[in-house]
Amino acid sequence: MTTTIRERKLTRRELLKSSVAAGATLVVGAGFVAASDAAWATETTAIKPETMATLIQMARDIYPHDHVGDEYYVAAVKGYDTADKAEMIEAGIAALNAAAQGKGFASYLAMGWERDRVDVLRAMENSAFFQTVRGGLVTGLYNQKAVWPLFGYEGESYSKGGYINRGFDDINWL
Amino acid sequence: MAAPFDLNDDSVVVVIGTGAGGGVLANELAQKGVSVVALEAGGRYLPEDYINDEWDSFGQLAWVDPRTTSGDWRVAKDFSGLPAWIVKAVGGTTIHWAGASLRFQEHEWKAATTYGNVQGANLLDWPIDGAEMDPWYTKAEDKLGVTRTGGRDGLPGNNNFKVFEAGAKKLGYKEVHTGRMAINSAEYDDRLSCQQTGFCFQGCKWGAKWSAAYTDIPRGEATGNLEVREKAHVARIVHNDKGKVTGVEYFDADGKLQMQKARVVCVAGNSFESPRLLLNSASSMFPDGLANSSGQVGRNYMRHMTGSVYAVFDKPVKMWRGTTMAGIIQDEARHDPSRGFVGGYELETLALGLPFMAAFLDPGAWGREFTTALDMYENMAGMWIVGEDMPQETNRVTLNHDVKDKWGLPVANVNFSDHPNDIAMRNHAYERGTAVYEAVGATRTFPTPPYPSTHNLGTNRMSENPRDGVVNKWGRTHDIANLYISDGSQFTTGAAENPTLTIVALAIRQADHLAKEMAAGNL
Ligand SMILES: Cc1cc2nc3c(=O)[nH]c(=O)nc-3n(C[C@H](O)[C@H](O)[C@H](O)COP(=O)(O)OP(=O)(O)OC[C@H]3O[C@@H](n4cnc5c(N)ncnc54)[C@H](O)[C@@H]3O)c2cc1C
Ligand code: SF4
């Protein structure tokens, strides 16, 4: 269900116009969520696109890695876009937005500084919603094989003959 | 009569569980001509099946049947349904294990005498000692091919070890080397030498690490005296009105309840399932569970004082390359109460892959304090702390009648809280481990909390006096002459060392005892 903005021939400006809210890196179109640099986009089926956009930002605020692109966070939370999980997610994100509004912002995504968003998350970190999303990310984000090289981790090594001839002891700065 | 054996054959020894204890015992008995039926709850996986991927391997091998937890240990909060990380498969947790194979120190056999009265600890001396165990340790080391014993060379040090060693030397530690490992440094016993793949915890695809799954089990089967029934979950041990056990009831691979008769029953399901089975076998004759006249079944659960220290450097380490745990500092393993605690601890190298590091570095943590640590994953080094913990009567496995497994049997609840001695020792080890890395320029260090237990001990402990424990010095239950315990649950105390070499040595010794007793007509 993933499509890119380039295919849709939408410019960033047009997307911004049609969006309900804009986060640090996210813009929301009708029925889909996209990166502001148009590197990726995803359509939603069961949850609202702005909910998905907020969820992606929440995921990044929970486990922020500045060298890891949004597409990996999208992949990590995409599984919540199903009929059976929609209610839980919509309610959780609504609570997040309500908390942001309580602090004088239009929405969670409208909070420009990570520290403000993190304050909101801290206040709800014991909620089932937060813990579900956080717990899911531990495997949803870090167990993506495509993410591993971004951290230097090399994964499977048996098929390459292990590291016996590939630098198991190549440290040179001690 | 040759395997397979009939359900009504009451001449067989039934071994429950095929890990370090049960797998070795089953083979050793088979080699002596004793007929053995080994019942194993898990399936069979061999090196070609093992997966170089942490979570996929976990899904393939781990015991994930329900268990519950209580007590103030952090595992009860972070991993409430997973008190232990152990394997459910033919070969048991010897598929997962890292291979560190150390003998107890002499004084550790006599913890009560050596440490004296430690408030709140239920210390007891083992009814055996180092002299008694010496020949059995040698047999175990030869079986496992332990490096730095029996003339076998040590393993080469990987990157993680080199950082650890350099720091240790700067602090003046003397006993620092690549460990005594059940991993081949050269071909041995028809198994390859280590190829430094770095997935020791996921099952060694080269067979360089010893595991009962592809050594003792097939060799026992080759004698024709051992039948291993996989996916056979033992539910209950049954007995006659003379108080002798007569067989076991188990659910077979199709979920059908079967009854295997037995001459002797040996329980080796690891330290949660073994006491659970004795408790679930309660009868009108033994209302508190089998072999429980002392009330000690399930008590004195020990998991070793553990923790980890990870450190980040300004340059790459790539700790995941090569052996997971081949590196040790032994200087702190001594008993030296001037440090503020009794007993000692070992520091051993440890590497986790990125997926497990994310799950275990600081469970539940989030935000930049956590993610900036993972950002430096490539520059991380790591070590594991393993020390003697205090047996406490209240640290125990009980039946949770509110939660049933898929067979309808009450599951094990594991209650654990640290003893003050455990906490003092852990804090000391965190300080020392941190110092090791700071000595070589660590820019950040992480005193990481214990993972779900990998070492599980003590819940059917060995004692001289039947009042104090569950089994005698042969692992024979004090109450029932033909019921034995053959796994780590017989440990009277835990010592500082990783337990498996001792479990294997005890199993080899028990096989010898059983064969003699059977030949003498005593069983
Ligand atoms: C990641 C990891 C690393 C480790 N590294 C080391 C190390 O370096 N050095 C060391 O000394 N130790 C290490 N250990 C510990 C070591 O693996 C255990 O101490 C050892 O395997 C325990 O042996 P056991 O016989 O008590 O139980 P196990 O080896 O766990 O075997 C028990 C078996 O019994 C089966 N079973 C249980 N209940 C039933 C039932 N009701 N019916 C039928 N079958 C049943 C289980 O499925 C299992 O296969 C490590 C453990 C882990 C998890
Ligand atoms: S590092 Fe060595 S022992 Fe460990 S899995 Fe690889 S080959 Fe086996």
Note the maximum CA span of chain A. 59
Please answer yes or no on whether B199 and A153 come within 8 Å at the CB atom: no
- Amino acid at residue number B454: T
Coil/strand/helix, residue A145: coil
- φ, ψ for residue B239, nearest 5 deg: -140, 170
Q: Closest ligand to B204 CA?
A: 2
Please answer yes or no on whether B374 and A151 come within 8 Å at the CB atom: yes
Residues in chain B: 523
Which tokens is B127 given?
């009814």
d(CA B450, CA B112): 26
d(CA B154, CA B165): 14
Whole-angstrom Cα Rg for chain A: 18
- Amino acid at residue number B465: N
Q: What tens-digit pLDDT sequence spans chain B (523 residues)?
A: 688 999 999 999 999 999 999 999 999 999 999 999 999 999 999 999 999 999 999 999 999 999 999 999 999 998 999 999 999 999 999 999 999 999 999 999 999 999 999 999 999 999 999 999 999 999 999 999 999 999 999 999 999 999 999 999 999 999 999 999 999 999 999 999 999 999 999 999 999 999 999 999 999 999 999 999 999 999 999 999 999 999 999 999 999 999 999 999 999 999 999 999 999 999 999 999 999 999 999 999 999 999 999 999 999 999 999 999 999 999 999 999 999 999 999 999 999 999 999 999 999 999 999 999 999 999 999 999 999 999 999 999 999 999 999 999 999 999 999 999 999 999 999 999 999 999 999 999 999 999 999 999 999 999 999 999 999 999 999 999 999 999 999 999 999 999 999 999 999 999 999 999 999 999 9
Q: Closest ligand to B156 CA?
A: 2
d(CA A136, CA A130): 10
> What pLDDT is recorded for position A31?
57
User: With the C-alpha atoms ordered B352, B354, B356, B361, is the resulting torsion angle positive or negative?
Assistant: positive
- Is the Cβ–Cβ distance between B191 and B73 less than 8 Å? no
Which tokens is B96 given?
């997962």
Q: 3-state DSSP: chain B helix, strand, coil percent, rounded to 5?
A: 30, 20, 50
Closest CA to B304 of B415, B189, B422, B404: B422
| Bridge partners (DSSP) listed for residue B308 | B384, B448
Q: What tens-digit pLDDT sequence spans chain A (174 residues)?
A: 333 333 333 333 333 333 333 344 454 555 566 666 666 677 888 999 999 999 999 999 999 999 999 999 999 999 999 999 999 999 999 999 999 999 999 999 999 999 999 999 999 999 999 999 999 999 999 999 999 999 999 999 999 999 999 999 999 999
B1 CA to centre of ligand 2 in angstroms: 39
> What pLDDT is recorded for position A29?
53
> What pLDDT is recorded for position A87?
96
Residues of A near B (Cβ–Cβ under 8 Å) read: 61-65, 67, 118, 121, 125, 134, 138-139, 141-143, 147-148, 151-159, 161-164, 166-171, 173-174
- Amino acid at residue number B243: G
- Is the Cβ–Cβ distance between B319 and B159 less than 8 Å? yes
- Amino acid at residue number B229: R
Percent of chain B with pLDDT over 70: 100
| Bridge partners (DSSP) listed for residue B239 | B245
Helix residue ranges, H only, B230-353: 270-280
Terminal-residue alpha carbon distance, chain B: 18
**Around Cβ B370, how many Cβ atoms within 10 Å?**
18
Closest-CA distance of chain A to residue B74, Å: 16
Burial class (CB in 10 A: 0-12, 13-18, 19+), B156: middle
Tell me: the pLDDT tens digits for B476-486? 999 999 999 99
Closest-CA distance of chain A to residue B372, Å: 7
Closest CA to A89 of A128, A40, A117: A128
d(CA B116, CA B70): 29
Closest CA to A52 of A24, A76, A25, A33: A33
For B453-487, the DSSP string reads BS--B-TT-B-SSTTT-SB-TTSBBSS-TTEEE-S
Residues touching ligand 2 (Cβ under 6 Å) are A 162; B 183, 194-200, 204, 206, 208-209, 322-323
d(CA B484, CA B267): 6
Please answer yes or no on whether A171 and B163 come within 8 Å at the CB atom: yes
Q: What is the ipTM of this complex?
A: 0.93
**Around Cβ A65, how many Cβ atoms within 10 Å?**
19
Q: Closest ligand to B57 CA?
A: 1
**Around Cβ A122, how many Cβ atoms within 10 Å?**
12
> What pLDDT is recorded for position B412?
98
Please report residues of A whose CB lies closer than 8 A to that of B82.
none
> What pLDDT is recorded for position A3?
34
Q: State which residue of chain B sits closest to A171, comparing Cα positions.
A: B159
User: With the C-alpha atoms ordered B428, B433, B436, B440, is the resulting torsion angle positive or negative?
Assistant: negative
Beta strands B68-70 and B410-415 are: parallel
Q: Across the interface, which of B156, B315, B353 has its CB nearest the CB of A173?
A: B315
Which tokens is A24 given?
């640090």
Is the CB of B499 within 6 Å of ligand 1? yes
- Is the Cβ–Cβ distance between B398 and B366 less than 8 Å? no
Burial class (CB in 10 A: 0-12, 13-18, 19+), A83: exposed
Please answer yes or no on whether A163 and B157 come within 8 Å at the CB atom: no
For A173, B442, B448, B500, B522, the CA distances from B445, given in Å and listed in that order, are 19, 7, 9, 30, 58
The whole-model pTM stands at 0.94
Coil/strand/helix, residue B338: helix
Closest CA to B496 of B347, B349, B383, B366: B347
Please answer yes or no on whether B359 and A138 come within 8 Å at the CB atom: yes
Work out how many CB contacts closer than 8 A connect A with B: 116
Residue A2 DSSP one-character state: B
User: H/E element holding B238?
Assistant: strand B233-239
B44 contacts chain A (CB < 8 A): no
> What pLDDT is recorded for position A24?
42
**Around Cβ B501, how many Cβ atoms within 10 Å?**
26
Residue for token pair 């440290």: A171
Atom of ligand 2 minimally distant from the CA of B197: 6
Closest CA to A6 of A37, A28, A27, A48: A37
> What pLDDT is recorded for position A13?
37
User: H/E element holding B349?
Assistant: strand B345-349
B150 CA to centre of ligand 1 in angstroms: 25
User: With the C-alpha atoms ordered A156, B102, B148, B48, is the resulting torsion angle positive or negative?
Assistant: negative
d(CA B139, CA A86): 60
> What pLDDT is recorded for position A30?
52
- Is the Cβ–Cβ distance between B32 and B515 less than 8 Å? yes
Please report residues of B whose CB lies closer than 8 A to that of A158.
52, 197, 199, 205-206
Atom of ligand 2 minimally distant from the CA of B207: 8
Mutation site, A171, A172, A173, interface B, largest B CB count within 10 A: A171
- Is the Cβ–Cβ distance between B488 and B509 less than 8 Å? no
Residues 487-516 of chain B with CB under 8 A from chain A are: none
